[in-house]
């Protein structure tokens, strides 16, 4: 790999990119363990793809806000380094695929020219912070949550408390009580609230904690009915510190916040959060509500005459994709993007249209679409005809016909069966056989390629996730798990879809027909689908669909997954990276501990005392973990590392701590983050690291003799 140096003005970003290049080289030379390197690259948005030798790169777009200029930059990068396609995700990111690992630093540098980052888009970090796409223009909102999401993004980016947690952490802001950001399935969800106190209006948030989907869905619990706005970021930091220290780290399936909350209980968890308050670098944090730039409207307001050729199609588009903003005289326009995929050539044309007819603030929606803002009513005909010319004027945004689907086995390592092919097949069924349902925004269909719910099947009215079945001859059949009854009730309340049964994947269209026809025949007047499901009950739908599960006589094409004609289906994991050499894991951990101690010293010099202390804390923990690993002592949380170090090494003759290791390390949440304490704590961490390395050398000498 040739050395690459960026032209980025921000030295922090430049160092980040150069460091990624260096770590790639060390990994390829066999000097960094595969698991350690995986953690490093994921935290920089580089994700191993199903196809060997290439990467998926996830671009972090805070609350989905992207300008036409940034969209053009991303399109250019995809053309140069990837597959000339942009994939919009349910977390308001943009993903590009088939990227060479060697070129990721250069790719990142190109994006940063327009202030676009990859940092912490993947990995065990605070992931992209999402928000309702309507935020700022929503007629129902108490206030705009966009600047709060932006401030949260900036505060926790590169923050030492959330760089290498046990698992990822997701945060969402809804614009109103309608909860269009699904706060109830997030680690932290925030719904804006306004109250009057002492005759003065006060902003705050209803806070949801510990939600999540995946194979074991949990609805979030209410931490606060009203948390003042200046407490939002301190509270989040305290929660992250607790999650970092007490969260599971070995059993990946149990390493999410929802399991920690379930284990401790809300009251005990909130007590731990309170204990962290002393160590926070700020106890109150006032968000700059001007943080998000004011929208810019087109300079040229003249409009050529736009002739709509099909008035009924135009009327349907307006009815399903257009709404009046809270700002009088302007409209928001949703764009349905099939499967969330948009080619770079179409993206460029779209950017030109936006520059001409809307504001420069595009929002990616959590159902993989787009929202244009500040469109004047007289510009709607021209916008419709322009979007139609590039294939983006389909009606039915967020309707039954707007199916959410993850990439599945197209590119994802975790995919079991194809989700994009079945999504296209189901949309064809709806548009061709049930065209009136394009107006129905009650029923939501969501599909994932595996149980992990990236396609949000866990809260779908009608959901599917990839699976498999075996016939009597033990031949594998691609299958879909069917789930029903999920949805959003509002104000932080939701319903998790219930698993019913598995059907061969090719029978998904018939599942849909059966459900639609049953609903049409038996629903009460005006009855929503979620209520209909509750009224009829799980067993009713189980028996309704049971005939479709029969695999006594499997048709020949049912052995082939969608998009894989004449290719027998196999359940298989994607190929991961391999360093190709044996690594000394203990030495790698010592290297990591030294690196964190170096960051602590740098932050101390820059007078970032709280950050310096936390880096030193991590140096303590990683150094202790290295020595415990040398004795094959198993640990699953940072707290277990701290406790077990005292058990196994507390009395070692070389260890000269004034107190127990636990009391020494946990001083970080007992003392205000001052310069004096930071200096002392960093010195103790450095002395401790020197000592444990001496103990390690002693071990190696004994084993060699």
Which of 493, 492, 494, 495 is closest to 191 using CA atoms? 492
Alpha-carbon span 39 to 449, nearest angstrom = 23
Q: What is the pLDDT of residues 565-575, one digit of tens each?
A: 666 666 654 43
Percent of the chain having pLDDT more than 70?
A: 96
E strand or H helix that includes residue 217? none
Three-state helix/strand/coil letters over 607-655: CCHHHHHHHHHHHHHHHHHHHHHHCCCCCCCHHHHHHHHHHHHCCCCCC
Region 125-129 average pLDDT:
96
Judge whether residue 247 has pLDDT over 60.
yes
- Bridge partners, residue 446, by sequence: 404, 463
Question: So what's the pLDDT on residue 581?
Answer: 32
Region 266-274 average pLDDT:
97
Least trusted range by pLDDT, from 52-56, 394-398, 569-573: 569-573
Name the residue ranges covered by the structural domains of the chain.
Answer: 11-112, 130-279, 311-389, 404-559, 585-704
Q: Which two tokens stand for residue 407?
A: 């990439």
Region 3-31 average pLDDT:
82
The CA-based angle 76-64-339, given to 5 degrees, is: 75
* CA distances, 622 to each of 128, 189, 692 (Å): 26, 31, 11
Alpha-carbon span 362 to 589, nearest angstrom = 43
Least trusted range by pLDDT, from 4-8, 240-244, 283-287: 4-8
Which of 442, 370, 373, 365 is closest to 401 using CA atoms? 442
Q: What is the pLDDT of residues 88-117, one digit of tens each?
A: 999 999 999 999 999 999 999 999 999 999
Structural fold of domain 130-279? Sulfite Reductase Hemoprotein; domain 1 (3.30.413)
Q: Which two tokens stand for residue 258?
A: 């929802």
Question: So what's the pLDDT on residue 208?
Answer: 98
Mean pLDDT of the chain: 92
Region 312-324 average pLDDT:
97
For residue 224, which phi and psi values (nearest 5 degrees)? -145, 135
Q: Among positive and negative, which fits the CA dihedral 122, 123, 128, 130?
A: positive
Question: So what's the pLDDT on residue 514?
Answer: 98
Which of 215, 223, 211, 190 is closest to 258 using CA atoms? 211
Q: What is the pLDDT of residues 170-195, one digit of tens each?
A: 999 999 999 999 999 999 999 999 99
Q: Is 328 left (phi over 0), alpha (psi -120 to 50) or beta?
A: beta
Question: So what's the pLDDT on residue 575?
Answer: 35
E strand or H helix that includes residue 481? strand 476-484
Write the DSSP string, 221-274. Answer: EEEEEEEEGGGHHHHHHHHHHHHHHHS--S-GGG-SHHHHHHHH-HHHHHHHHH
Structural fold of domain 585-704? 1.20.120
CATH among 3.40.190.10, 3.40.50.720, 3.40.50.300, 3.30.70.3340 for 311-389: 3.30.70.3340
Alpha-carbon span 503 to 482, nearest angstrom = 7
Helix axes of 380-389 and 344-357: crossing angle, nearest 10 degrees: 170
Q: What is the pLDDT of residues 418-465, one digit of tens each?
A: 888 999 999 999 999 999 999 999 999 999 988 888 899 999 999 999
Which of 368, 446, 357, 335 is closest to 86 using CA atoms? 368
| DSSP assignment letter at 524 | P
Question: So what's the pLDDT on residue 268?
Answer: 98
Alpha-carbon span 647 to 630, nearest angstrom = 15
Buried b / exposed e over 262-290, threshold 16 CB at 10 Å, is bebeeeebbebbeebeebbbeeebebeee
Alpha-carbon span 344 to 71, nearest angstrom = 9
| DSSP assignment letter at 277 | G
Q: What is the pLDDT of residues 601-622, one digit of tens each?
A: 999 999 999 999 999 999 999 9
* CA distances, 166 to each of 33, 241, 638 (Å): 18, 11, 9
Question: So what's the pLDDT on residue 7?
Answer: 65
555 three-class SS: coil
All residues at 6 or more sequence positions from 131 whose CB lies less than 8 Å from its CB, including other chains: 63, 64, 92, 145, 146, 149, 172, 173, 174, 175, 181
Task: Decide whether 130-279 matches 311-389 in CATH topology.
Answer: no
All residues at 6 or more sequence positions from 74 whose CB lies less than 8 Å from its CB, including other chains: 59, 66, 86, 94, 96, 111, 116, 347
Judge whether residue 409 has pLDDT over 90.
no
Judge whether residue 658 has pLDDT over 70.
yes
Q: What is the pLDDT of residues 319-377, one digit of tens each?
A: 999 999 999 999 999 999 999 999 999 999 999 999 999 999 999 999 999 999 999 99
* CA distances, 112 to each of 10, 13, 16, 54, 105 (Å): 9, 8, 11, 22, 11
Least trusted range by pLDDT, from 15-19, 304-308, 643-647: 304-308
Question: So what's the pLDDT on residue 563?
Answer: 78
| 459 and 445 Cβ atoms separated by less than 8 Å | no
Question: So what's the pLDDT on residue 578?
Answer: 25
Percent of the chain having pLDDT more than 90?
A: 76
Judge whether residue 3 has pLDDT over 60.
no
Judge whether residue 576 has pLDDT over 70.
no
Name the pairing type of β-strands 476-484 and 462-470: antiparallel
> What number does CATH give the domain 404-559?
3.30.413.10
| 65 and 149 Cβ atoms separated by less than 8 Å | no
Write the DSSP string, 284-299. Answer: -----TT-SPPP---S
Structural fold of domain 11-112? Sulfite Reductase Hemoprotein; domain 2 (3.90.480)
Q: What is the pLDDT of residues 137-154, one digit of tens each?
A: 999 999 999 999 999 999
- Bridge partners, residue 59, by sequence: 94
Region 288-313 average pLDDT:
86
Provide the 10 A C-beta neighbour count for residue 54: 17
Alpha-carbon span 497 to 52, nearest angstrom = 34
Judge whether residue 86 has pLDDT over 60.
yes
Region 504-533 average pLDDT:
96
- Bridge partners, residue 448, by sequence: 465
Alpha-carbon span 274 to 39, nearest angstrom = 30
């Amino acid at each position: 790999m040739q050395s690459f140096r960026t032209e980025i003005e921000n030295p922090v970003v430049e160092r980040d990119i150069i460091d990624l290049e260096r770590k790639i080289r060390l990994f390829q030379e066999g000097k960094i363990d595969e698991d350690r390197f995986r953690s490093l690259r994921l935290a920089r948005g580089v994700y191993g793809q199903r196809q060997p030798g290439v990467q998926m790169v996830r671009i972090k777009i805070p609350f989905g806000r992207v300008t036409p200029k940034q969209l053009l930059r991303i399109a250019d990068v995809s053309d140069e380094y990837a597959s000339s396609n942009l994939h919009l995700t349910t977390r308001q990111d943009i993903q590009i695929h088939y990227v060479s690992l060697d070129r990721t630093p250069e790719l990142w540098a190109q994006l940063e020219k327009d202030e676009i980052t990859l940092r912490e888009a993947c990995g065990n970090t605070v992931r992209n912070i999402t928000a309702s796409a309507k935020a700022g223009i929503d007629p129902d909102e108490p206030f705009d949550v966009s600047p709060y999401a932006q401030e949260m993004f900036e505060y926790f980016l590169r923050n030492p408390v959330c760089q290498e947690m046990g698992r990822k952490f997701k945060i969402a802001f809804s614009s109103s009580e309608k909860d269009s950001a699904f706060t109830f399935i997030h680690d932290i969800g925030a719904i804006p609230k306004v109250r009057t106190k002492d005759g003065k209006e006060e902003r705050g948030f209803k806070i949801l904690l510990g939600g999540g989907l995946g194979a074991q869905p949990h609805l979030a619990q209410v931490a606060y009915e009203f948390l003042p706005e200046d407490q939002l970021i301190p509270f989040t930091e305290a929660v992250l510190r607790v999650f970092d220290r007490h969260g599971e780290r070995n059993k990946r399936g149990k390493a999410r916040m929802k399991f920690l909350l379930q284990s401790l209980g809300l009251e005990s968890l909130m007590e731990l959060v309170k204990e962290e308050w002393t160590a926070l670098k700020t106890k109150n944090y006032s968000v700059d509500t001007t943080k998000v730039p004011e929208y810019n409207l087109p300079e040229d307001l003249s409009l050529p005459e736009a002739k709509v050729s099909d008035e009924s199609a135009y009327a349907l588009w307006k009815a399903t994709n257009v709404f009046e903003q809270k700002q009088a005289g302007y409209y928001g326009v949703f764009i349905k993007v099939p499967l969330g995929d948009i080619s770079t050539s179409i993206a460029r044309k779209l950017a030109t249209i936006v520059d001409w007819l809307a504001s420069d603030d595009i929002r990616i929606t959590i159902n993989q679409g787009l929202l244009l803002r500040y469109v004047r009513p007289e510009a709607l005909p021209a916008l419709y005809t322009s979007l139609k010319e590039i294939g983006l004027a389909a009606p039915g945004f967020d309707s039954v016909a707007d199916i959410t689907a993850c990439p599945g086995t197209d590119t994802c390592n975790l995919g079991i069966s194809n989700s994009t092919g079945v999504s296209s097949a189901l949309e064809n069924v709806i548009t061709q056989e049930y065209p009136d349902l394009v107006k129905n925004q009650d029923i939501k269909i969501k599909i994932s390629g595996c149980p992990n719910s990236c396609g949000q099947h866990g809260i779908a009215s009608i959901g599917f996730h990839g699976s498999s079945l075996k016939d009597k001859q033990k031949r594998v059949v691609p299958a879909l798990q069917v789930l029903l009854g999920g949805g959003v009730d509002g104000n932080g309340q939701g319903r998790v879809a219930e698993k019913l049964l598995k059907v061969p994947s090719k029978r998904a269209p018939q599942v849909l027909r059966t459900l639609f026809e049953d609903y049409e025949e038996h629903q009460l007047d005006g009855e929503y689908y979620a209520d209909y499901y509750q009224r009829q009950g799980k067993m009713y739908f189980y028996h309704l669909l049971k005939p479709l599960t029969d695999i006594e006589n499997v048709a020949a094409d049912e052995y082939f997954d969608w998009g894989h004609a004449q290719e027998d289906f196999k359940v298989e994991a994607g190929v991961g990276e391999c360093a190709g050499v044996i690594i000394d894991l203990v030495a790698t951990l010592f290297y990591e501990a030294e690196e964190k101690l170096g960051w602590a010293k740098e932050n101390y010099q820059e007078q970032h005392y709280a950050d310096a202390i936390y880096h030193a804390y991590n140096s303590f923990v990683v150094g202790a973990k290295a020595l415990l690993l040398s004795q094959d002592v198993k640990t699953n949380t940072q707290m277990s590392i701290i406790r077990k170090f005292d058990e196994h090494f507390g009395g070692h003759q070389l260890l000269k701590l004034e107190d127990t290791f636990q009391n020494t390390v946990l001083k970080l949440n007992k003392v205000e983050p001052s310069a004096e304490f930071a200096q002392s704590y960093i010195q103790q961490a450095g002395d401790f690291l020197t000592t444990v390395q001496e103990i390690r050398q002693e071990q190696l000498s004994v084993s060699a003799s």
